[in-house]
Chains A and B, each alone.
Chain A
Amino acid sequence: MNTAAKPRRTMNLNLGPQHPATHGVLRVELELDGETVVKATPHIGFLHTGIEKTAESKLYYKVIPMTDRMDYLAPMSNNLGYCLAVEKLLGIDVPEKVKYARVCLTELTRVMSHLVWIGTHALDLGAMSMLLYAFRERELIIDLYEACAGQRMMTTYFRVGGLAYDLPKDFDKRVKDILQKVPPGIRDYERLLNNNKIFRQRTIGVARISAEDAINCGLTGPSLRGSGVNYDVRRANPYCGYEKFNFQVPLGKNGDVYDRYLVRVEEMKQSLNIARQALEGMPEGPYRAHVPGVVLPPKEDVLSKMESLIFHFKIITEGFHPPKGAVYQAIEAPKGELGYYISSDGSAKPHRMRVRPPSFVNLSALPKMVEGGLVADVIAAIGSIDIVLGEVDR
């Protein structure tokens, strides 16, 4: 019998697009040799809505609601990136209070996004109860969103030059409540997962990626830091006053699923720490910059002063005209480096708005992680790079 001459038989398997463990409408075409993945090809685009194209037809401030809908698990991070980019383009600065409020809220957003991640990721690997625990804590942050912006998810709370409304009166109390209730939750997750035999077996040494490969694949955020590369936009190129905050950038060593898990859990603790610092250091002051013609004047002035009324009318109907030029602003979103490249031709609408989506780039590294591994590890790998398909496809 001549077995050597037999051609290798492989099987094609479609994972998704409607499989719950693919975290959205992602389809991965797997070529399998038994249980081993020979080739993995992700197919995306099921959620493509042309946000970049639509942005070109809208006034600058009307683009903000669309940014919420990209990474819908971390709306405020998206708002922040866009607003910072437009502010950079205009060359305006915002009041200190706004900076602190933005830092506080985006850090809580990071916790919120990681809570969804830990819930779904653990659920994929068989720890069913994690989802309920994680959503219990997430609810507190969502309630804070509601108090601030009136919306639970699509907040559009950050605006160019400030915030949409002033912070709610009980902001302090709510944030303190979160800071008190979330850390015991995180301790619970660690107790449930860190030494859990099944979880460790499914994650340690799985979907490993070396530091060099991770950089070459363009990974950013916790997925990159899990491989031990110290790159965090908050630390490397501080924005929004991050240089004033004291925090650590957790790093992994092995670049496997377990290390990425550890990095994210530690990041949640650091984020809560930053949120506490931001809350304690928050000065009094206006919640919007005073830039006539760009930032809306306070509502009381609109009702009593003619100039304010005119500015209000002009901003709403005509928009503002940034100078000709292009800027790139990167922020550290929960998933990685989120960048906005905005090119202006001097008109009231962006000439081009490009989003550098962390999920998209991180997902492109998936074949590198899973090829040669087992088919069950694909699920663990997809969970560990933490993608949101709304952001992948835009």
Chain B
Amino acid sequence: MDDKIRQYFEENFKEAMVRLDTFRDQLSLYIRKEFLVDICRDLKDNDEFRFELLADICSLDWLGQADETEGRFEIIYNLYSIKNRYRLLLKVRLPVENPEIDTLTNLWQTANWLEREVFDLMGIHFTGHPDLSKIVTPDDLEGHPLRKDFPLTYEVPQFSWNKNDPPEVIR
């Protein structure tokens, strides 16, 4: 199956491919973001592959790593073909200045919440999303927690002996 996918991309989306990567028997495809929707539509409708299930959308922040040169953010689209029992990871790199990518909500309804979560936690904008709003974090929280420059903090609990002190936050 890996070879078929490889061949299919060589033939149809040669200009979209950045590189291929296999780690622990899992094929990952790095693609350019402009082609994402076209590729997904093709993979979904193609009778041979039938990647019908968008299992997951995940995001990564490569801040401070050697990988950052390729683009700081990475979005991973986890496609699954029920017919072939095969999983494919499509990966897209996005630069820090303009973390924006087209939405997949027109193809999969499940992309709605998954993209909202990525937007909320990583601050990636999905153009064309019907309702791109916060989903898990409180409304008054500023920033995107999963970014590496968002500090982990600890708030000192207030007891009777320190209830009058101002709230203390340890970074």
Residues of A within 8 A of B (CB): 44-45, 48, 50, 52-54, 57, 88-89, 91, 213, 215-218, 220, 229-231, 236-237, 325-328, 330, 337, 339, 341, 343, 345, 351-352, 354, 356, 360-361, 363-365, 368, 393-394
Contact = CB atoms under 8 A, between A and B. Distances in A.
Contact of A218 (B23, B53, B76): B53
Given A237-B85, A327-B23, A327-B26, 18 more contacts: A45-B134, A45-B138, A215-B53, A216-B109, A217-B109, A237-B87, A326-B28, A328-B87, A341-B56, A341-B58, A345-B65, A351-B60, A351-B65, A352-B58, A356-B56, A361-B110, A361-B114, A364-B113
Main secondary structure of the interface of B (DSSP, over half): mixed
A55 to B, nearest CB: 11
Contacts of A44: 135-136
Which 7 residue pairs spanning A and B have beta carbons closest together?
A218-B110, A364-B113, A45-B136, A354-B58, A356-B56, A325-B23, A236-B85
B2 to A, nearest CB: 14
Interface of B: 23-24, 26, 28, 52-56, 58-61, 65, 76, 78, 82, 85, 87, 89, 108-110, 112-114, 117, 121, 134-138, 145-146, 150, 152
Contact of B55 (A330, A345, A352, A365): A330
Contact of A327 (B24, B54, B61): B24
Contact of A216 (B23, B108, B150): B108
B51 to A, nearest CB: 11
Nearest to B117: A360
B137 A48 contact: yes
A91 B78 contact: no
B152 A89 contact: no
A227 B89 CA distance: 26
Given A53-B152, A216-B109, A339 B55 contact: yes
Nearest to A393: B136
Most buried by B among A44, A91, A230, A236: A236
Contacts of A352: 58, 60-61, 146
B88 to A, nearest CB: 10
Contacts of B76: 341
A368 B58 CA distance: 23
B60 A216 contact: no
Contacts of B112: 364
A71 to B, nearest CB: 16
Nearest to A361: B110
Contacts of B85: 236-237
A54 B54 CA distance: 26
Nearest to B89: A328
B129 to A, nearest CB: 14
A325 B27 CA distance: 12
A337 B24 CA distance: 20
B109 A368 contact: yes
Nearest to A346: B65
28 contacts: A45-B134, A45-B136, A45-B137, A48-B138, A52-B146, A53-B145, A57-B152, A89-B24, A216-B108, A217-B110, A218-B54, A218-B55, A229-B82, A231-B53, A236-B82, A237-B85, A237-B87, A326-B23, A326-B28, A327-B24, A339-B78, A341-B56, A341-B76, A354-B58, A354-B59, A356-B56, A360-B117, A361-B110
Given A88-B24, A237-B87, A327-B26, A339 B56 contact: yes
A356 B110 CA distance: 12
A351 B58 CA distance: 13
Contacts of A54: 152
A326 B114 CA distance: 20
